[in-house]
A = this chain, B = another copy of it.
Amino acid sequence: MARRGARPPVGALAGLPVAVDAMGGDKAPGEIVAGARAAADAGLPVVLVGPPDQVGETAGLELVACTEVIAMDEDAGQAVRRKKDSSLVRAAELVRDGAASAMVSAGNTGATMASALLRMGRLPGVTRPCIATPLPRLGRTPAVLVDAGANAECTPAMLVQFAQMASAYVAARFGIAEPSVGLLSIGEEPNKGTPLVKEAHQLLVAAGVRFEGNVEGRDLLPSPVDVVVTDGFTGNVALKALEGSLRFFLETILGILATDETTRAAGDALMPHLLPVAAELDPDNTGGAMLLGTDGVCVISHGSSSAAAVTSAVRVAHDLAVGDLVGRLASAVARG
């Protein structure tokens, strides 16, 4: 497949570091540096990117110095245009220039996406990149929801590409040979939903993916299909609704357990069973969201990422870059 000039051959990616935005996320730089250090200790090549005076202690890791940082709440488009020497933009350039195999950031999602898109470029044939976010399924590999918020407005053809790319991603990441795909709608019947959804349903039948029809909001947790496709507006609302309800239930349960001596004792008895479930639902342990459709691997870790989440994101980014995710995505779109 066609690749932009500067990108190294896939075989060379294993030797390149993953570029980690040291200043991205609510817990940056402390947890980010610690997570990158742990990744390096596990044998994963990694390089930090950030302003030396703000990053501070690098735990012995190489730091690619820059002068600017894009804040969590900055307007993404504007920030990426103006802050050309920011850690996010520089990390994307390292991938573009063949100096890094992939990039990881727990920072401003919109700015991460814009940096990757503007510096790495789109894959040939891809209309718009999209974000694939894990949906936990207890005791199994997670499903993914795509688009989780990259594109508020979508066309039916874009949803088809999202399905093709997410299928290739799930196959590469979780080893599922032919991932099943569902279209998020308000009823199982093909004639339910908006014109966008009805047309996408028709197109998905012939899109070269294992399309199993519509799924509904109640099917997101746990998902019966490996890939749930939707536009970025609906996807973002649905994901945040799930996150909000998860937080609500955890706070409610913890509040009950803290009531008195009796409930605290009950809580002690239940903890060995509750903790593994909480761990499986924790975004820290899923490796983050994946930007699909740019000419380079970009992992968007949760804004509240701990060191463990960063280590996990670096591992996923490295493995998928080496496994030629980018080539697989381009093939999936070209074939579809």
B contact residues around A222 at 8 Å (CB)? 248
Smallest CB–CB gap between A241 and chain B, Å? 4
Within 8 A of B (CB), among A260-288: 262-263, 265-267, 269-270, 273-274, 277
A138 to B249, CA, bound (A): 11
Q: State the copy count for this chain.
A: 2
Across the interface, do B236 and A238 meet the contact criterion of CB distance under 8 Å? no
Across the interface, do A237 and B217 meet the contact criterion of CB distance under 8 Å? yes
A127 at the interface (CB under 8 A from B): no
Residue of B nearest to A245 (CB): B245
CB < 8 Å neighbour of A266 from B193, B234, B249, B270: B270
B contact residues around A185 at 8 Å (CB)? 237
A234 to B185, CA, bound (A): 9
A225 at the interface (CB under 8 A from B): no
Across the interface, do A195 and B245 meet the contact criterion of CB distance under 8 Å? no
CB < 8 Å neighbour of A193 from B152, B220, B248, B262: B152
Q: How large is the interface on A (under 10, 10 to 19, 20 to 34, 35 or more residues)?
A: 35 or more
Q: In the complex where A248-B221, A266-B269 touch, is A256 in contact with B237 (Cβ < 8 A)?
A: no
Residue of B nearest to A232 (CB): B186
Across the interface, do A236 and B262 meet the contact criterion of CB distance under 8 Å? no
A216 at the interface (CB under 8 A from B): yes
CB < 8 Å neighbour of A234 from B192, B237, B243: B237
10 contacts between A and B (CB under 8 A): A149-B186, A152-B192, A186-B237, A217-B242, A218-B247, A241-B245, A245-B249, A256-B274, A263-B269, A266-B267
Interface set of A (CB-CB < 8 Å, partner B): 138, 149, 152-153, 184-186, 192-195, 197, 216-222, 230, 232-234, 236-249, 252-253, 256-257, 259, 262-263, 265-267, 269-270, 273-274, 277
When A and B form their complex, which 10 residue pairs have the shortest distance between CB atoms, in order from nearest? A217-B240, A218-B244, A266-B266, A217-B241, A217-B237, A266-B269, A218-B240, A186-B236, A245-B245, A256-B273
**18 further interface pairs, Cβ-Cβ under 8 Å (given A152-B194, A263-B269, A266-B270):** A185-B237, A217-B236, A217-B238, A217-B239, A217-B241, A217-B243, A218-B243, A219-B244, A220-B241, A221-B245, A230-B237, A233-B234, A234-B234, A237-B237, A246-B249, A256-B273, A257-B270, A262-B269
